[in-house]
Structure 1
Amino acid sequence: MRLQETTRALVAVAIAAPSLAWATNGYFSNGYGVASQGMAGVGIGLPQDALAAAANPAGIAFVGDRFDGDVSLFLPQRGASVTGNGYGVNGNYEGNNRSIFALPEFGVAYQILPNTYAGLALYANGGLDTGYAQNPYRAFGATGSAGVDLEQVFLSPTIAYKLFDKHAFGIGLNIAFQRFTASGLQPFEGMSVAPDNVSNQGADTTVGVGVHLGYTGQITPTLTVGVTWASKIHGRFDDYKGLFADGGSFDIPENYGVGFSWKVTPAWTIAADFQRILYGDVSSIANPLSNLTSGNALLGSSDGPGFGWRNTNVIKFGTSYDVSSHLTVRAGYSHSSQPVASSETFLNILAPGVIQDQATVGATWTTDSKIALGVFYGHGFKKTLDGDNSIPAAFGGGNANVHLAEDVVGISFGKQF
């Protein structure tokens, strides 16, 4: 398949992409591509396939001419409980109106000139989805089911240049398509600068562009390191300008990271990544609910309340072993700091991105004709975040306690040319 044909195919998929959801590190995906995900998302210093550009654009200089595609089935279990509330909200709520999500990814990488490589990747950066048939806000006047659906799809063209056959620098564009819906939030309309644009406005979309930079270097024959940075990407949901701070602004946060891989033996590799996600620099995500209840900043205003999320650090560890020239097996574990403050769980009933730990296993079978068939399984361990006086007195006080657990399984097909 030629590069231009692949480009047209990936753009078509991006435009018609199905609903996607992912929520492992806040709402960022833990990794891209089945090979990386089998190692808990490690990839900044360990390029393995054509989706390497999603983690580090320089990585495509080390994967050869290839195409990779995969699909994962994502099964989250999310919900909340409310205690000590004076308005009759106490109880257990399950946010699983929809419980299975399909997540496709595609990537292609080619050497186009001596020492110059081009790549194109389509992947889901992340997302959140909740659907409460029993509306947790019904006692305040809400009707119908409650929930939100945030989807983010990236199309990333990338160029990398290799120096001395050991070092590469890469630059890519992150073209981000975001889609958002919210329902069952009628009680908050009277607290907004735009009450007609808080809830039940259907799906709204926004497209933004950011820059992704990276370096990958083979420091020794056995040690490879990587560094990457991705800029903030601006977005705005006009149909929900009464919900999100600053008139519907919803940016994808800046993030950066470092990683390494070390070949302990010719068959055994260990690797690790560190990533920092700057949720705290995006007002609609970071502003606390207290801006509404004590600061008198209405929803949708420049200082309007958000979800109270903080900057998040993620550490990933992975290992792979070549059992034979055909079979590679993988495993990994990742841990993140908690993005959600315990004082902010009331609104985060809608967005309980609280998981901190995930374990994964995976394998790839490569044929003599360089066709790679991969599989992985990941489990995000259930995390319950208990509220700390998280429901304001104006809403009857008490606490909202939110929880999330995840399972994901994926398969892949790749071809080295």
Structure 2
Amino acid sequence: MKRVLCLAVSAALLGGAGSAFAITDSETNASIPFSFSSPGARSLGMAGAFLGLADDATAAYTNPAGLTQLVQTEISLEARHTEYSTPYIDGGTAAISPFSASGLNISEADSSNRNLSYLSVVVPRDRWAFAFYRHELARFETDFATLNGANVDDFRLFPFRSIADLRIVSLGASAAFKASDRVSLGFGLTRYDFRFDTATVRVDDIDPNDIKIASRQFQNGDDNAFGFNLGARFKLSDSLSLGAAYRKAPRFDYDAINVLYSDIDGNPLPQPQIITSLNKVRFDIPDIFGVGISWRPTDAFVVNFDLDRVMYSQLTDDINTLFDIQSSANRLQLEDGTEVHLGAEYTFANMTAPFSLRAGMWHDPRHSVEFRGAPSGAADAVLATLFAGGRGSENHYSIGGGWAFKSFQLDFAADLSDGLDTYSMSGVYRF
């Protein structure tokens, strides 16, 4: 049986060094759980549908035009607990001609984190409003391993262990201007800090009494860059408003390397051999276009509907390879997706501290990297196999509530799906 040390046939020992253009074909990049939903427990309770409403301090990030609705200085703080699962190939068998992944085993690695996800200060001034905020766009840590190498016809994919740590934190400033009683415009400038570290080790398991390291792949980056967001809000009537936003996210650079420890027969090399070294690999956060409608049929009840177009394909444009199989890596793709958000809020205003009940649902499109088309050879089949376990589209369901006091508001919410559960608690202080 032929043996695959990395993702490609292990005979491909000649690598290169130089500049790259997009993320690599490391399986640790298969499912990156960005958080593009609006910050704040109030918004989360309404399934992230907030572009048309945008009437609290979180608008600084979501739709800065909404800041003109605020009449008092506000400080907003949110903490989140997130639980997520990362699918990966855990043994089994795939066929090349025709390609079939039905015999593969797919496992999931469960992870969780707690973080201060959002902090903002908003200062309104007549027809203007200004805001400063900190937001965590991504905080992803995972560790998964397979003890069983997968078989692809005559090729053997060695067992591996992968760890990944991705953090993207943004610091931003937004300004909004009330052009008329019915039209508000907003603009924001954001500095993003990016940290990315992954490591994968593959072992030769042919001889269970003599396990050898076959190869290691690393991705490391620490970078910062600027992006911006634009927003608009239109008051169509006393009960209907329309919001729109565009968020231009930046690109970051990181380095990647693939190191070989054994030859094609499993014999240790005299010294580790670098087969691929890439610098300035591009990590491109997807841009987002969004539009939303907010309808308030009564003072106590509001319904929000958002459509967000997420340009996921930017992450895999001109993807590069760590394994000297560029033509195969070019067939790894992410498709752009459309998020559909629907949420509502009902406020029991006759209470001493008015209580609001919220609920909603939204559709999260597939944003896992996958191999496109039918594999035409061994290298294609190996990548198609290792990227066959990505998570598909999901429906999220949310529920939340909150109390409004004289100068303070406390909100809580949960957003639940098969692969990602988010719990949020946030507070707003007005003075």
Paired residue for 1:71, among 55, 67, 79? 79
CA shift for structure 1 position 83? 3.6
* CA distance 1:298–1:127, change in 2 (3 Å): farther
Question: Is 2:326 the counterpart of 1:297?
Answer: yes
- 1:26-65 maps to which residues of 2 (within 5 A)? 27-64=34-71, 65=73
Who is 1:225 aligned against? 242
Who is 1:321 aligned against? 346
Q: Distance in 2 between matches of 1:248 and 1:108?
A: 35
Who is 2:122 aligned against? 109
Deviation digits for residues 56-114 of structure 1, max 9, x if unmatched?
12121113321110101001133334542479x95453323x43343421111111x43
CA shift for structure 1 position 254? 1.6
Q: Distance in 1 between matches of 2:308 and 2:395?
A: 14
Pair member with larger Rg: 2
CA shift for structure 1 position 252? 1.1
Q: Going by fraction, where is helix more abundant, 1 or 2?
A: 1
CA shift for structure 1 position 51? 1.2
Listed as ranges, the gaps of 5+ residues in structure 1 are 1-22, 188-196, 383-404
Greater Cα offset, 341-350 or 71-80: 341-350
Q: Distance in 1 between matches of 2:198 and 2:362?
A: 30
Listed as ranges, the gaps of 5+ residues in structure 2 are 1-29, 97-102, 151-155, 204-214, 259-274, 373-383
2:346–2:357: 8 Å Cα contact kept in structure 1?
yes
SS at match of 2:112: coil
- 1:253-332 maps to which residues of 2 (within 5 A)? 253-282=286-315, 285-286=316-317, 296-297=325-326, 305=330, 307-324=332-349, 326-332=354-360
The structure, 1 or 2, with the larger RCO (C-alpha pairs under 8 Å, 6+ apart) is: 2
Who is 1:192 aligned against? none
Q: What amino acid sits opposite 2:107 in the alignment? A: Y
Who is 2:409 aligned against? 372
Q: What amino acid sits opposite 1:59 in the alignment? A: G
TM-score, length-scaled by structure 2? 0.71
* CA distance 1:256–1:371, change in 2 (3 Å): same
Question: Is 2:397 the counterpart of 1:337?
Answer: no
* CA distance 1:355–1:117, change in 2 (3 Å): same
Q: Distance in 2 between matches of 1:46 and 1:135?
A: 50
Question: Is 2:157 the counterpart of 1:124?
Answer: no
Q: Distance in 2 between matches of 1:172 and 1:231?
A: 10
Who is 1:252 aligned against? 285
Q: Going by fraction, where is strand more abundant, 1 or 2?
A: 2
Q: Distance in 1 between matches of 2:41 and 2:299?
A: 22
CA shift for structure 1 position 39? 0.4
Paired residue for 2:229, among 198, 212, 220? 212
* CA distance 1:165–1:335, change in 2 (3 Å): same
Q: What amino acid sits opposite 2:229 in the alignment? A: H
1:331–1:360: 8 Å Cα contact kept in structure 2?
yes
CA root-mean-square deviation: 3.4
Q: Percent identity?
A: 20
Aligned length: 348
CA shift for structure 1 position 288? 7.0
CA shift for structure 1 position 186? 5.4
Who is 1:388 aligned against? none
